[in-house]
Amino acid sequence: MVHKYSVILVTLAGDGGNVWEKPQEVLETVAESGYDGVDLDAEPDRIDPQEFNKVASMAASLGLKVPALICAWGGWHAGEVRDLASNDESVRSYAVSYAQKCIDLAAGFDDPPILEIAAVPPASEYPVTSVPRADLRRNFAKSARELAEYAAPRGVGVAIEPINRFEGYAGFLNSIVEAKSIADEVGADNLGVLADFFHVNIEDAALTDTLRHAADKLMCIHLADNNRQAPGTGHIDFLQVIRTLNSMDYSGYLSLDAVPAKPDWKTLVNSSISFMKQMEQMAALQDRIAAAERMAPPA
């Protein structure tokens, strides 16, 4: 099965691949490497709409879709407090209003991208958050419901990305199991989960079991090896990952989310998709070998 791949462009920005500075070079590199899309930053108040539209149309002219918009959550990603799980209602509703503007941005596309949401505190409280986890869950579920309701008539999907305990709330919404239970509880058709292999590798059980558990709620994948570097450079079994996604008929994107971009952004972009395409070929080869072995030998 042939899967669809994208690159989260903000992951390249700190290592010489800033799409807002050199859109042509970045987008051409991604397109020529064989990707199907690019995930753009969701910063409607910070990125000039003209600049955003220029990059989006340049991507389209190179045959690249925009499957997802990437929000920034938490103090150090966002430079301001955007906390969908906050006990402070004014903080929570500020985060919801930011996400609503991002949904409006998504709705402007012919084929609207998915929006990624997460629970990230203003500052890490590892190893255990001081806010009661039941409060965090209630607050986040409320935000997720509000956003799913806002997004539905605009044709936008919302995907909950669990974040590992060191970056997110330590003890809350670190796992796919918890994200899926919130998506199930809210019960909106346009609300699902996003599996980032770096976070999943830290917090969940076996990766392939986790993908199967997410099942039809799995909207998007963030692609990296366990070391958050190019797939194939760590110890995740990507052949099994591909076999699992094939067995699920997964039709979403795998968006490269390896940070920082090492050894350099172009090598990361190039080598990641060539490795994944080789895994797809090996999975197909396994199937062909099995098919050949089921056939009766020639008389």
Cβ contact 272:257 at 8 Å: no
Instruction: Pick between residue 58 and residue 158 the one whose CB is nearest to Mn ion.
Output: 158
Q: Using the rule CB under 5 A, is 204 a contact of Mn ion? A: no
Which residue, among 33, 35, 27, has the nearest Cα to 59 in the 3D structure? 27
Q: Which of 196, 204, 225, 280 binds Mn ion (CB under 5 A)?
A: 196
- Tokens representing residue 37 in the block: 């899309």
Residues 111-150 that bind Mn ion (CB under 5 A): none
Q: Which of 3, 180, 222, 243 binds Mn ion (CB under 5 A)?
A: 222
- What DSSP character marks residue 219? E
Instruction: Pick between residue 229 and residue 283 the one whose CB is nearest to Mn ion.
Output: 229
Cβ neighbors of 66 (< 8 A, separation 6 or more) are 37, 38, 39, 40, 56, 59, 109, 113
* Shortest CB 12 distance to Mn ion, Å: 14
- Tokens representing residue 170 in the block: 């330590």
Only segment of 90-98, 167-175, 221-229, 260-268 that touches Mn ion (CB under 5 A) = 221-229
* Shortest CB 196 distance to Mn ion, Å: 4
Instruction: Pick between residue 3 and residue 222 the one whose CB is nearest to Mn ion.
Output: 222
Instruction: Pick between residue 203 and residue 257 the one whose CB is nearest to Mn ion.
Output: 257
55 exposure class (CB count in 10 Å sphere: 0-12, 13-18, 19+): buried
Backbone angles phi, psi at 287, to 5 degrees: -65, -40
Instruction: Pick between residue 196 and residue 280 the one whose CB is nearest to Mn ion.
Output: 196
Instruction: Pick between residue 178 and residue 257 the one whose CB is nearest to Mn ion.
Output: 257
* Shortest CB 59 distance to Mn ion, Å: 20
* Shortest CB 99 distance to Mn ion, Å: 16
Q: How many residues bind Mn ion (CB under 5 A)?
A: 3
Only segment of 11-19, 136-144, 190-198, 277-285 that touches Mn ion (CB under 5 A) = 190-198
Backbone angles phi, psi at 251, to 5 degrees: -115, 5
With tokens 């346009």, the residue in question is: 190
Which residue, among 158, 279, 264, 262, has the nearest Cα to 219 in the 3D structure? 158
Which residue, among 230, 273, 212, has the nearest Cα to 33 in the 3D structure? 273
Query: What's the CA gap between 73 and 24, in Å, rounded?
Result: 28
Q: Which of 178, 204, 257, 280 binds Mn ion (CB under 5 A)?
A: 257
* Shortest CB 39 distance to Mn ion, Å: 10
Contact pattern from residue 38 through residue 77 relative to Mn ion, giving x for each residue in contact according to CB under 5 A and a dash for the rest: ----------------------------------------
In this structure, which amino acid lies at residue 115?
L
Query: What's the CA gap between 54 and 52, in Å, rounded?
Result: 5
Instruction: Pick between residue 14 and residue 49 the one whose CB is nearest to Mn ion.
Output: 14
Instruction: Pick between residue 5 and residue 58 the one whose CB is nearest to Mn ion.
Output: 5
Which residues of the shown chain bind Mn ion in the complex (CB under 5 A)? 196, 222, 257
